[in-house]
Structures are given as C-alpha cells and as structure tokens.
Structure 1
Amino acid sequence: MMDAFKAVFWGFFGVRRKSEYEADARRLKPQAVIVAGLVAAAVFVLAILGVVKLVTR
C-alpha cells in the first residue's frame, strides 16, 4: 500500500520517470492506487482548507 501512496505522491507532484511509471503500472493493483489517490486528495483539500482558515483569522 505504501508503494501506491508513493506513486500517487509522485503523480501529484508531477515528476515521474517513464520507466518508474511503467513498473508501477505492472506492479500495483488499481484498487490500491484509487484508494491512495482518494486519501491523498482528501488530505490535500483538508490542508488547503486549514491554511485558508488559518490565514483568514
């Protein structure tokens, strides 16, 4: 599962080597990547909301 989170992190960051992407595509289960993506997106949104709330106080 940590490999899925690592792949999603690099996907969010936008820096991937093609060989690493292809290796992840062969190795990781789609369900794990989907769950990791949803969790990462939720954490990102909550972090943005927290920063906005902190700044607007």
Structure 2
Amino acid sequence: MSGQQPRAGFIGTVKAVLWSFVGIRKRKDYHDDASSLDPKAVIVAGVLGGLIFVLTIVAVVNWVVS
C-alpha cells in the first residue's frame, strides 16, 4: 500500500460534502478528495446533509408563516 493516501475521516468527509453543497472547490482539493474519500461515506454524508438542509428550510418557513 505504499504511495496510497490514507482514507479521510468523518470530519474530512463532512467538510468535503459541505464544500460541494456550496460549489466552491479548488482543483487540487478535488483531486485530494477523490483519492482519499470513501464513496459510501460521501453518499451517507450527502444524504444527511441534504436532509438537514430540507428540514431547516421547512422549519424556517413554518416559523415565518405562523
């Protein structure tokens, strides 16, 4: 396994997913993420991030309307 980057941890995965939600990413960081992130962890973090985002929007709309 020489020459292989270590896998990113939970915080690194969440950070990469949050940056992808914003849409701002350097090419070097993208390539680093592509080689170090676990695809299953990225999917889980993306689904959870999207769910939290949607629930936050629903809560804000309910608060404003009431």
Scaled to the shorter chain, the TM-score interval is over 0.9
| Partner residue of 1:9 out of 12, 18, 27 | 18
CA distance in 2, matches of 1:39, 1:2: 14
Alpha-carbon RMSD across the aligned residues, in angstroms, is 0.5
Give the percent of matched residue pairs that are identical in Structure 1 and Structure 2: 44
Q: TM-score, normalised by structure 1?
A: 0.97
CA distance in 1, matches of 2:12, 2:40: 13
The answer for unaligned runs of 5 or more in structure 1 is none
Post-superposition offset of 1:2 = 1.2
CA distance in 1, matches of 2:34, 2:13: 10
Aligned length: 57
List per-residue Cα deviations over 1:23-51 (Å, max 9, x = no partner).
00000100010000000000000000000
Tell me the equivalent position of 1:52: 61
Q: TM-score, normalised by structure 2?
A: 0.84
**Structure of greater relative contact order (alpha carbons < 8 Å, 6+ residues apart):** 1
CA distance in 1, matches of 2:31, 2:51: 26
- Moved >4 Å (runs of 4+): none
1:36 equivalent in alignment to 2:45: yes
More helix by share: 1
Larger Rg: 2
